[in-house]
């Protein structure tokens, strides 16, 4: 077929030309790359279309894999730049969904290859913002979130696109400087605010009195929220940890603004996680954690030990409507879970350094609150 390179004809003595293996001519590698690229192009076009149905679960994985093969997002953008994203809001919405997945799970160079399109995404966001209803408004807010996501990760390169970090890595991100942690917390609030805006806008665009999550149109709007839920769970967790850290170093009055902003986001996220967990559509795809009844008390240092990191669980073998196994949604948090468990059992530090989340003072963090 088109993807099979033709082996060079063997010479008369039955030997294959030097440097080639049986059946593989020198053109093998480029041909394999071309084959991968064309498969990637097909997957991108299948994933991003104008039908008002959720992106099929089987289409993004080859797109994600493609970025790891080519160590970047050149193929993705070469395809996307030919799509009429400014002319069709559903198409643009599905582009946002797939691009969000690539920023989270694609090769780390996806960010570098995509930053150059930041201004175009902002222009498109403004354009769609002029439409007061339907997908226009949704696209405008989603594009704003994706721009914010790119800006955060460009400014804070220690944070991977999927936001999975150990406590030690979170420590290192602030370089042991309280000013850095203060600023990082503000940037996380801004990031989480964009995620919550999209979450709320999707929910308010749906008629929740009907079983909207079992309709194709409802699922088209809800599907990207899986990425949002994953991002939110990490951002919430890190803001809690950073606020406890800041309260151990700065006067409580200085952090009043941070506490107020956290409280507002806590209430929104708690409500959105609760409402999402009751939607039929998500029940098959994702286990959504519930936030505690009351927000953490940052004025009591020992309360950090009661904080339980919200863990989103995505079944590896959820049965999808078109009976394709879900392979793109598995979030591997096992390493960090093991780290935490190991630290809880054996302890990891004997210092009482407020910049060290693993210090004995916070060893009980994985235990259930009393």
pLDDT in tens, 113-126: 999 999 999 999 99
Quick: pLDDT tens for 64-105. 999 999 999 999 999 999 999 999 999 999 999 999 999 999
Res 33: pLDDT: 62
Average pLDDT, the chain: 81
- Among 235, 370, 232, CA closest to 303: 370
Percentage of the chain beyond pLDDT 90 is: 66
What is the pLDDT at residue 25?
A: 45
Residue 83 gets which letter from DSSP? Answer: S
Q: What confidence score (pLDDT) does residue 228 get? A: 98
What CA–CA distance (Å, rounded) separates 31 from 121?
33
Q: Kindly tell me if the per-residue pLDDT of 367 is higher than 60.
A: no
The full DSSP string for 201-249 is: HHHHHS-TTS-GGGSHHHHHHHTTHHHHHHHHHHHHHHHHHHHHHHHTT
Q: pLDDT per residue over 114-171, tens digit each?
A: 999 999 999 999 999 998 678 999 999 999 999 999 999 999 999 999 999 999 999 9
- pLDDT at position 360: 40
> Whose CA is closest to 83, among 49, 116, 106, 51?
49
The whole-number pLDDT of residue 32 equals 60
> What does DSSP assign to residue 294?
S
pLDDT of residue 315: 79
Q: Give me the residues paired with residue 21 across strands.
A: 24
pLDDT tens readout for residues 217-228: 999 999 999 999
> Worst-scoring range by mean pLDDT, 22-31, 295-304, 319-328, 356-365?
319-328
Tokens 């400087």, located at residue: 177
Per-residue pLDDT at 211: 74
CATH 1.25.40 holds for 28-155: yes
Mean pLDDT over 276-288 rounds to 91
Cβ 323 vs Cβ 217: under 8 Å: no
Q: What is the pLDDT of residues 48-71, one digit of tens each?
A: 999 999 999 899 999 999 999 999
Residues of the chain with CATH 1.25.40: 28-155
pLDDT for residue 42 = 87
Residue 41: band (very low, low, confident or very high) from pLDDT cuts 50, 70, 90: confident
* Residues in CB range of 248: below 8 A, 6 or more apart: 301, 354
Residue 34 has a pLDDT of: 64
d(CA 8, CA 6): 6
Q: What sections of the chain are H helices per DSSP?
A: 28-47, 60-70, 74-80, 89-105, 109-115, 118-129, 134-155, 167-173, 178-205, 216-222, 225-247, 256-277, 280-285, 334-346
The average pLDDT across 240-250 equals 96
* Of 315, 132, 310, nearest in space to 236 by CA: 310
**Over 80: is that where the pLDDT of 303 sits?**
yes
pLDDT of residue 40: 73
């Amino acid at each position: 077929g088109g993807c099979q390179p033709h082996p060079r004809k063997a010479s008369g003595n039955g030997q294959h030309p030097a440097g080639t293996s049986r059946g593989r001519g020198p053109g093998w590698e480029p041909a394999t790359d071309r084959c991968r690229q064309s498969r990637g192009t097909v997957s991108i076009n299948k994933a991003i279309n104008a039908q008002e149905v959720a992106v099929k679960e089987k289409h993004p994985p080859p797109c994600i894999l493609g970025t790891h093969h080519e160590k970047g997002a050149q193929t993705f953008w070469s395809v996307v730049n030919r799509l009429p994203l400014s002319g069709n809001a559903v198409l643009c919405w599905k582009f946002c969904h797939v691009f969000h997945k690539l920023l989270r799970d694609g090769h780390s160079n996806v960010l570098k290859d995509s930053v150059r399109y930041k201004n175009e995404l902002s222009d498109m966001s403004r354009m769609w913002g002029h439409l007061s209803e339907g997908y226009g408004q949704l696209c405008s807010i989603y594009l704003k979130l994706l721009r914010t996501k790119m800006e955060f990760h460009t400014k804070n390169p220690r944070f991977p696109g999927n936001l999975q970090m150990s406590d030690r890595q979170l420590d290192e991100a602030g370089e042991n400087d309280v000013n850095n942690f203060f600023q990082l917390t503000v940037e996380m609030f801004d990031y989480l605010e964009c995620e919550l805006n999209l979450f709320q806008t999707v929910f308010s665009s749906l008629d929740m009195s009907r079983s909207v999550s079992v309709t194709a149109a409802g699922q088209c709007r809800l599907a990207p929220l899986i990425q949002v839920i994953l991002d939110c769970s990490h951002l919430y967790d890190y803001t809690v940890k950073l606020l406890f850290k800041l309260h151990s170093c700065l006067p409580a009055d200085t952090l009043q603004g941070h506490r107020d902003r956290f409280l507002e986001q806590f209430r929104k996220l708690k409500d959105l996680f609760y409402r999402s967990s009751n939607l039929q559509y998500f029940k098959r795809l994702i286990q959504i954690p519930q936030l505690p009844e009351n927000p953490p008390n940052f004025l009591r240092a020992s309360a950090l030990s009661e904080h339980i990191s919200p863990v989103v669980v995505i079944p590896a073998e959820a049965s999808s409507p078109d009976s394709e196994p879900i392979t793109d949604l598995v979030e591997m948090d096992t390493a960090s879970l093991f780290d935490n468990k190991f630290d809880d059992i054996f302890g990891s530090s004997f210092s009482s350094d407020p910049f060290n989340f693993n210090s004995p003072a916070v060893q009980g963090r994985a235990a259930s609150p009393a």
